[in-house]
Amino acid sequence: MILRFAWPWIPLLFLPPIGWMILRYVRDRARAPRIRFSSVRLLERAKPRRKKIIRHLPFAARTAAVFLLAIALGRPQSGARGVRVSTEGVDIMIALDVSGSMQAIDLKPNNRLEAAKLVAADFIRGREADRLGLVVFAGASFVQCPLTLDYDVLLELMSEIRIGMIEDGTAIGMAIVNCVNRLKKSDAKSKVAILLTDGVNNRGTIDPATAAQVASAVGVRFYTIGVGKEGDALFPVNDPVFGQRYVRRPTQIDEEILKKIAAETGGKYFRATDTDALRAIFDEIGKLEKTEIQSDEYVNYSDLFGWFLLPAAILLLFETSLATVLVRRIP
């Protein structure tokens, strides 16, 4: 809370009169007429001691009333500081590959998909005023979560993603189209999609190159990420005799089409061969697509003079009552 006087010079003008009132009162009390008695013990017994205090109350009430009146005329105010924030947000769709090849265990903590979910979740938590959505794809593609500012809901839906929830395959073109459909009517300053895959487009009715041209036409920028190490990778296999075991299989990422998608839409291609590299990629994308936040500080003031004016009026009434009833002076 902020306290101030709108007219601070007015209370200062009252200081000399208040000081003069106190000095005059003290002087008058010192010069008051006196009668000499050989002994005042009988008078002290006859007159209650509290009268000595009461006789000063009118002056004290009058002085306090003038002091409060001076403060009220200075217009005391209290203010609450606030911040007006305006943002130019970014709309971001994240497209995650959930095909069978994402089971490869060359990325920590478990496999490629779990690493992607972990890093993407950290990326989502780091945003402040952006709408984010989620698309998943394998042999087909669908929207797991539309654009939203409710990051808790988005993170909950992301945690439910698993391999096998869609028929196997890699439909990169369909994933691009789904992202574009969600972003094309956006009024955001920047419309962005992050596409993460470890395979080659082999499914879907739209090829990635055509989908990239559509994205470019509506102003959607794609950052593409190839996930996984080059060469063979270990995959879990359920053996009916020996249980789960791991076999080494070749992996292939169509880096050429991912680079083409990024170049066509004004984005950038990245390659992540481990979890740390994937986290660094998302950090770089976050810096490239940084939301502009402008804040204006302001203070709202409200007048408080009523809190001083009312007590001043009560004190003046109290002083008048004392002077005319309890503490009457005889000329």
Find tokens 């002083």 and name the residue: 319
Q: Which residue has the higher pLDDT, 195 or 61?
A: 195
Q: Is the pLDDT of residue 49 over 90?
A: no
**pLDDT over 90 percentage in the chain:** 47
Residue 84: per-residue pLDDT: 59
Residue 15: per-residue pLDDT: 80
Q: Is the pLDDT of residue 227 over 80?
A: yes
Say which CATH superfamily domain 90-290 falls into. Answer: von Willebrand factor, type A domain (3.40.50.410)
Q: Is the pLDDT of residue 296 over 70?
A: no
What confidence tier does 88 reach under pLDDT thresholds 50, 70, 90? Answer: low
AA letter at 221: R
Hey, is 88 helix, strand or coil?
strand
Q: Is the pLDDT of residue 85 over 60?
A: no
For 177-200, what is the mean pLDDT? 93
What confidence tier does 60 reach under pLDDT thresholds 50, 70, 90? Answer: confident
Domain extents in the chain? 2-32+43-81+298-326, 90-290
Q: What is the CA radius of gyration of the chain?
A: 40
Residue 101: per-residue pLDDT: 93
Q: Which residue has the higher pLDDT, 110 or 196?
A: 196
For 47-52, what is the mean pLDDT? 54
Residue 314: per-residue pLDDT: 86
Residue 70: per-residue pLDDT: 83
Find tokens 């002091």 and name the residue: 67
Q: Is the pLDDT of residue 40 over 70?
A: no
Q: Is the pLDDT of residue 323 over 70?
A: no
Reading the block at residue 239, the tokens are: 């053996």
User: How far is Cα of residue 237 from the mean position of the Cα atoms in its chain?
Assistant: 46
Q: Give me the chain's average pLDDT, please.
A: 84
Residue 1: per-residue pLDDT: 61
Reading the block at residue 121, the tokens are: 């979740």
Residue 37: per-residue pLDDT: 56
Q: Is the pLDDT of residue 39 over 80?
A: no
In Å, how far are 52, 188, 321 from 59, measured between CA atoms? 13, 69, 12
Residue 262: per-residue pLDDT: 97
Q: Which residue has the higher pLDDT, 294 or 205?
A: 205
Q: Which residue has the higher pLDDT, 109 or 34?
A: 109
Residue 161: per-residue pLDDT: 96
